[in-house]
Structure 1
Amino acid sequence: MNQTFFLTILIFTSQVIQAQNNETLSEKLWKQVQDCYSMFEDLDEDGKVDYDEIIDDSKNGYLKVSGSWPTCGCNCENTIGAYKTNSNDYIFLKKYQWGCSWQKGLYLSDSASVIFPFDFGADGFFQTKIENLSHNAYFYLDFKIPRKGTETKVFIKPIPLGIKVENEKYIVFGYAEKNKFTYSHKMFQIWRIASKTKGSNCIENLLNNNLNEISEADKKIIDEAIGTGDSKFENIKELIICFQELKHIYEVYTQIHYDWLILGWNRDKGAFYIKEKGKRMKIDSFKDFLKNTEMWRPIC
């Protein structure tokens, strides 16, 4: 009885593995984007699923799907590329984005240490090792998965201010909004102060609690950020602490040496290597950093 049972399980398992091995490259790619594609609906009732964009070159190892659905205009996007190895296998990179949950990331079909046998910080964007005393990541990697060839461009971008990602390194593959800072619901006030105040040293004076050095017009804008409710700061002290924490993120931002990396693909090792680095052309001031960097805000 037991021998028959185990023999049946063994045959079934073998059939599943064989079926997976018989999948075409196109089928493998389409299977991996179903979590996004399955969300699309036939909104105009013409018998076809509505989407924003589909680029189907899956037979050659590239597929992109993006679209939205009625709930709050929520959207998702999946872009996946297949990188062939000399053993006729594939390594898959899938870049994903879910708008309403503030989620961006990268799925890898093998471990990161195997696919990327280098440090994106010390060997790449920072050019040296920087100790992370905050134990929070501040930046994520934005991969541009190629439709043609295997050279892959990677940009470093700030994690939206207000989203907390606990990590031993400053750079991660993605983020989600499940963790936030105590000041996350107040980020609009930070943007407003950075955008509306006119004094060239206003932000620095606020950071150093030199309130007497701030003009009356700028003080009025700052005072409007303080009040009751989740979207405002309780007092000036809480506001200053928030600016100080954001200043630390900015100080790490200023240590980025390169805007992008181009990764080459080694088919023998089934791994990437750093082929080229794009030198950084511009560093924003702290005020411009606060104005221009994406900030978390509630959606729905």
Structure 2
Amino acid sequence: MYCQTNDTLKELLWESVSPCYEALTSELDPDDIEKLNVFELEENIYDEKNGYIQLNISYPTCGCYCSNIAGAYKQQNKDYTILINEAWSCSSERKLHSNKPMDSVLPKGFGINTFIPSLTTEKLPLDQAIFFLNLQIPRKGTETKVTLEVIPFGINFSSNSPLTYEYSESDQSQNLNDIQYLASKIKDKKTLDYLAESTHDSIDHNDFELINSLIDPNHTSKAFQSLDKLSAQLRELKFIFYLYHAIEYKSLILDWDQEAQRFYIKTQIPNKEWMDFRSFLLRNDYWQGPSC
């Protein structure tokens, strides 16, 4: 990003990926750590000249992996703002953070209405985050693409805002893979709408048999205890579906203002994607449950 090298930048970059590196080395002997060179691997990059570091590694716990990507954006006072993308597979955790408060780094007034100008957040019925801000840190230059992504279904990350810069699994997370299975097997695509609307009498007979096979009143082997609870869950997902289709700008190109020490919006990319409810359920990611 910037053709300037100094000890401060080096320290900032290494500090940004230290959680991932420490997870890898936590069970290694000191001699093995000294010999370790993670940047021999093609997927790992250390480019101090351009203020960029990328670390993708597996560490010795249940085949877990972590990813840390960090980039330095130079300020007019020669200091650096660092942006960090962090992901941990075994805790279904993603995090976008900085060495500065995120609200002071992103464009002024940045939030969910940047992507959905018509949205009135006071009327939202959910108390959980719906979207995650995926920011692609560039290795060179300062143009930075941000995209609104739907959080995997079932994570249920508590939030008073539909947009979050981090999420992870918790004891509130729920495995909803049966819904994806149901969407893939139904004969009548209207079945999902009937379920969400609780108009169960309209459901095709064969589809109804399939639905009943996914319900367990004792909640021992299936995700849902009753037809009503399945319908309630589908109503929540359909609300997310409607919100997804209200997105006016799916992605933005941000650029860096050295003097203001924050990003500004350079380009807004209109959302032209459309899909029906069934396709939405099939295409989105789902929380897969505890890894260990």
TM-score where L is the length of structure 2: 0.87
Matched, 1:56 2:40: no
**How far apart are residue 36 of structure 1 and its match?**
0.2
Aligned partners of 1:244 and 1:262: how far apart in 2? 33
Q: How does 1:134-153 map to 2 (within 5 A)?
A: 134-153=126-145
- Larger CA deviation: 287-296 vs 213-222: 213-222
Residue number in structure 2 paired with 1:263: 254
Residue number in structure 2 paired with 1:234: 225
Identity of aligned residues (%): 32
**Count of residues paired in the alignment:** 274
Classify the secondary structure of the residue corresponding to 2:236.
Answer: helix
Aligned partners of 1:153 and 1:39: how far apart in 2? 29
- The change in CA–CA distance for 1:59 and 1:167 in structure 2 (over 3 A counts) is same
Look up the equivalent residue of 1:73 and give its one-letter code: G
- What is the root-mean-square deviation of aligned Cα atoms in Å? 2.2
Q: Is the 8 A contact 2:12 2:82 kept in 1?
A: no
Q: Spell out structure 1 runs of 4+ moving beyond 6 A.
A: none
Look up the equivalent residue of 2:17 and give its one-letter code: V
**How far apart are residue 130 of structure 1 and its match?**
2.4
Residue number in structure 1 paired with 2:9: 25
**How far apart are residue 52 of structure 1 and its match?**
6.8
Aligned partners of 1:153 and 1:120: how far apart in 2? 15
Residue number in structure 1 paired with 2:152: 160
Classify the secondary structure of the residue corresponding to 1:147.
Answer: coil
**How far apart are residue 230 of structure 1 and its match?**
5.3
- Larger CA deviation: 124-133 vs 254-263: 124-133
Look up the equivalent residue of 2:23 and give its one-letter code: M
- Selected match of 2:170 from 161, 165, 178: 178
**How far apart are residue 231 of structure 1 and its match?**
3.1
Q: Is the 8 A contact 1:63 1:80 kept in 2?
A: yes
Classify the secondary structure of the residue corresponding to 2:86.
Answer: strand
Look up the equivalent residue of 1:270 and give its one-letter code: Q
Look up the equivalent residue of 2:196 and give its one-letter code: L
Aligned partners of 2:154 and 2:48: how far apart in 1? 37
Residue number in structure 2 paired with 1:78: 68
Aligned partners of 1:170 and 1:29: how far apart in 2? 30
Residue number in structure 2 paired with 1:195: 184
Look up the equivalent residue of 1:63 and give its one-letter code: I
Aligned partners of 1:262 and 1:38: how far apart in 2? 33
Aligned partners of 1:218 and 1:49: how far apart in 2? 55
Matched, 1:89 2:89: no
**How far apart are residue 199 of structure 1 and its match?**
0.3
Residue number in structure 2 paired with 1:221: 210
Specify every segment of 5 or more residues in structure 1 that has no aligned partner in the other structure, as ranges.
1-21
Aligned partners of 2:127 and 2:223: how far apart in 1? 27
Aligned partners of 1:61 and 1:49: how far apart in 2? 19
**How far apart are residue 121 of structure 1 and its match?**
1.9
Larger radius of gyration: 1
Matched, 1:68 2:55: no
Aligned partners of 1:52 and 1:67: how far apart in 2? 11
What whole-Å deviation, never above 9, does each CA across 1:250-281 have from its counterpart, x for those lacking one? 22111111221000111001010111011112
Aligned partners of 1:52 and 1:72: how far apart in 2? 23
Residue number in structure 2 paired with 1:293: 284
Aligned partners of 2:63 and 2:263: how far apart in 1? 36
TM-score where L is the length of structure 1: 0.85
Look up the equivalent residue of 1:35 and give its one-letter code: P
Residue number in structure 2 paired with 1:125: 115
Matched, 1:40 2:24: yes
Look up the equivalent residue of 1:165 and give its one-letter code: F
